[in-house]
Amino acid sequence: MDNTQRFEDAPARLATAVPEIYALPALGDHVVLNLTDALLCQYAGADRGMLHYSATLNELRFSRDPVALDVLSLADLEQQRTRAGFPGEPVNPELIHNAALLELGVADRKKIQVDNLR
């Protein structure tokens, strides 16, 4: 689903629509695994590729929980920004909050279990 123009300048619309779309039985009921590429973490530069604002994480993340993957990724971005001395970019917590309200996954970082495999 590509609705970049609808959501790019409307964070409230994005925070409502994305969880509702994922919660549709025709979509969400058929998702069995979510994969996040966390090989390279670009913490600044927006949508332009800027390797000098990147950190190598070398991780692939697999989960049945899409919300937990987003929570972990946002935590990594914040950690890398802090290390580089960048001010934190405002993250709209509504998206994660709404997804958790629809019971799409776990939004509390303390309740997310991470198993590292080598």
DSSP code for 87: P
User: Domains in the chain: how many in total?
Assistant: 1
Could you tell me if 22 and 66 are in contact, meaning their C-beta atoms sit under 8 angstroms apart? yes
Structural domain contains residue 30: yes
Angle value at C-alpha 79, between 78 and 80, nearest 5 degrees: 90
Question: Would residue 39 count as lying in a domain?
Answer: yes
Q: What is the tens place of the pLDDT at every residue in 94-109?
A: 999 999 999 999 999 9
What average pLDDT is seen over the chain? Answer: 90
Beta-bridge mates of residue 23: none
CA-closest candidate to residue 42, choices 52, 29, 31? 52
Note the pLDDT tens digit of each residue in 21-36. Answer: 999 999 999 999 999 9
The answer to whether position 117 is within a domain reads: no
Whether 87 maps to a domain, the answer reads yes
pTM for the complete prediction?
A: 0.87
The two tokens of residue 81 are: 């920004």
Eight-state DSSP code of residue 109: G
Range of the domain at 62: 4-106
Assigned domain for 17 exists = yes
Does residue 114 fall inside a structural domain?
no
